[in-house]
Amino acid sequence: MKGFCPRKGKGKGCKWCEGAPDSAGKGKGGGVWQPQFQKSWGGSSWGGKGKGKGKGKTPAKKTDNALKVWVGGLPQKFSFKALQAHFDQAGKSTWAEGGKGGNGSVCYTTEAEVYNAITLLSGSVFEGSILQVDTWVKKPTKGGS
């Protein structure tokens, strides 16, 4: 419907709909109408990583260090559910995760379960890899103290 302005009526145009391919109020420049959440602002879109994405959201960071075990010797690719199921042999684990270099952590609700995991699962085989299980020790800060 060329020449139609929703504000002014048929045959009349305004600055608001000027330049739209079908004069249906799409603004200057034509283009395809997109919902607001799909439009980009300032050259970037909302599809990328946002502020604070992935920082401090895992339950492992919120769990007391006495209720975590350190796990070493993890294979490069594995299922975290399978890791948690493996560590459920020592007691009900609440969270299991792997990190860089074949290291990871598993969280429990009691210190007795942590002790069981260290004694029972250290040296156990998980998906073809021999695991090392030890108490969780917080990394020293870069300042050296």
89 contact partners, CB below 8 Å, separation of at least 6: 120, 121
Joined tokens for residue 131:
């695991």
User: How far apart are alpha carbons 125 and 53 in whole angstroms?
Assistant: 34
State residue 12's pLDDT score.
60
pTM of the model: 0.58
What is the structure's pLDDT at 99?
Answer: 81
Q: Residue 25: its pLDDT value, please?
A: 45
The contacts of residue 135 (CB under 8 Å, 6+ apart) are 69, 70, 114, 118
Cβ contacts of residue 94 below 8 Å, gap of 6+? 59, 63, 107, 108, 109
pLDDT tens, the chain, 145 aa long:
555 566 666 666 666 566 555 444 444 445 566 666 665 555 444 455 555 555 557 788 888 889 999 999 999 888 899 999 999 999 999 999 988 889 999 999 999 999 999 999 999 999 999 999 999 888 777 766 5
The total of other beta-carbon atoms located within 10 Å of residue 86's CB is 22
Q: Which pLDDT score, from 0 to 100, does residue 125 have?
A: 94
The predicted pLDDT at position 9 comes to 62
Residue 33: which residues within 8 A CB-CB, separation 6 or more?
A: 26
Token pair 């260290």 in the structure block, residue: 118
DSSP-derived 3-state class of residue 110: coil
With contact defined as beta carbons under 8 Å apart, do 89 and 79 qualify?
A: no
CA distance 70 to 138: 10
Tell whether domain 59-135 is in CATH 2.60.40.10: no
